[in-house]
Amino acid sequence: MKLKYSTLAFSIAAVLIGSGRSYAQEGYAPMGSPYPAGAPAPYGPGGMQPGYAPQAMMGAPGPMGPMAGPGPMMGGPDPYAYMAAANGYGQTTPGMQYGGPVDGSMYEPAGDYVQYENFAGGTCNDCGDGCALPPRVYGSFDTLVVWRHGGNYPAILTTSDPADEGVLGAPSTRVLFGDGYETGDAGIGGRITVGLWLDDYQNWSVGGRFLALAEEGASYSTTSDAYSTLAFPFFNTNTGLQDSVVVALPGNGDNAADNTTVSLNNDNTVYMGDFFVTKHIYTNQGNRWDFVTGYSYAKLEDGFSINAQYTVQDAAPPSGFAQGDVVVLHDSFNATNEFHGGQFGLIAEFQDGPFSWRAMGKISVGGMKQEAAISGYTTINGADSDNQGIYARSTNSGSYSRDQFAYIPEASIDMIYAYNCNLDFKLGTNFVYFSDVATGATLINTNIDPSVLNPTDPQFNFIEQDYWIVGLTLGMEFHY
């Protein structure tokens, strides 16, 4: 297989250089305190321990001895009592932020989890448990609106003046379906993510994610009332010339047919899931970076079918047909791709008050098992006539499989609004790329040997095909 080494190298470089997001892969770990929690910080904005008044204000030293400088009055928590930072967890800028002292002490707000309500002047009760342990459980529910770049079809259905019979290259022939990538309307999908922090530092987390996109694809249908001439073009390997299977042609001469209906359908479904582990690697003034790794799974199913029905009008039809016969031709091309591999990437958050910008870059590398099934049939007046159709012939029908190396880069950018301390709303975009998949379109071979005895074509071959999904994300995230 010819690998897209430049694409793979670019994807890995983007992960190493690029960014991530706090809920890795559209919902990984929310950004909580990366250091011990559970009690107010031992110093307030003036160097005071919370809950103790300065000697000048109380007239007597506190339990820990005389205090100097302004401080909170006894009887309530210090509004600046953020969780105490611990050394060695990525802190690079000591000192209280958001209105606290910047005297070089080791205490500052609880990383990204300090909500905007807790900034200078807030209280521990603004977020209910703002002075307690950071969240341990997190997750998200997302609705996705996506567009997919699918199979690259050959010319499948043509029309022309009757004399040209839909043969490719003839002066009046034009393609009605195929001769390029299938394009469908926007599809809908859903994604759910759940995770658990393993420590009070929010240094390690584990979780899982599942995504499903609704069945979507391209379809086309027409009749001989719309186009008096309809044909399925192919290259005749016996003659070395372009040819066609005619299903609609006016008159009663060779290949004449009417009452024709043609229906072409592509169906596509995508499922993705993973189990992940995140490790905090860097924090600076409310911005946080994490590394993510784990197991990744994906399944992509793609099918293409052809259905054509017509009434024979040829006065001297070929053997096996009679004038007035109702003929049905059917082809089915189905492909399944199942990926198993490992993933790694970066996740990060850049916080500004109640808003956060989150981005993610990761790549999954592993094996893609590809399976293909091709079948066809012909019926005359409702009775089986042949076990082959138009492009599904005796020489290529059957089941096939192969194993391929594949990689799946993924990236997203999201804007998050913190509605309250447990619920956020999200609007963003995401992109997923598959380096090698089999699709129904790539299973179609239009090189045909129409010989009745011992035909040699079409032959079956897997054809390398990339595939991508791009779309919008609208969701909500929770942490508790």
Q: pLDDT per position in the chain (480 positions), as tens?
A: 444 545 454 444 444 434 333 333 333 344 443 333 333 333 333 444 444 444 333 344 443 343 333 333 333 333 333 333 333 343 333 333 333 333 333 333 333 343 333 333 344 444 544 455 678 999 999 999 998 887 789 999 999 999 999 999 999 999 999 987 665 678 899 999 999 999 988 899 999 999 999 887 778 999 999 999 999 999 999 999 999 999 999 999 999 999 999 999 998 999 999 999 999 999 887 789 999 999 999 999 999 999 999 999 998 888 889 999 999 999 999 999 999 999 999 999 998 888 999 999 999 999 999 999 999 999 999 999 999 999 999 999 999 999 999 999 999 999 999 999 899 999 999 999 999 999 999 999 999 999 888 999 999 999 988 899 999 999 999 988
Instruction: Kindly report the number of other CB atoms within 10 A of residue 219's CB atom.
Output: 13
**Residues paired with residue 379 on neighbouring β-strands, in sequence order:** 328, 384
Q: What is the pLDDT of residues 11-25, one digit of tens each?
A: 444 444 343 333 333
Question: What pLDDT was estimated at residue 101?
Answer: 35
- Coil vs helix vs strand at 394: coil
Which class in CATH covers the domain with range 5-32+135-479?
Answer: mainly beta
Which residue from 430, 409, 468, 26 is spatially nearest to 208, judged by alpha carbons?
A: 26
Which residue from 349, 370, 352 is spatially nearest to 360, judged by alpha carbons?
A: 349
Could you tell me the pTM of the whole model? Answer: 0.74
Which residue from 245, 265, 240, 266 is spatially nearest to 257, judged by alpha carbons?
A: 245
Question: What pLDDT was estimated at residue 127?
Answer: 54
- Contact status, residue 214 vs residue 189, Cβ threshold 8 Å: yes
In the chain, where the domains are located: 5-32+135-479, 47-133
Buried-exposed string 270-293: b where 16+ CB fall within 10 A, e elsewhere: bebbbebbbebbbbebbbbbbbbe
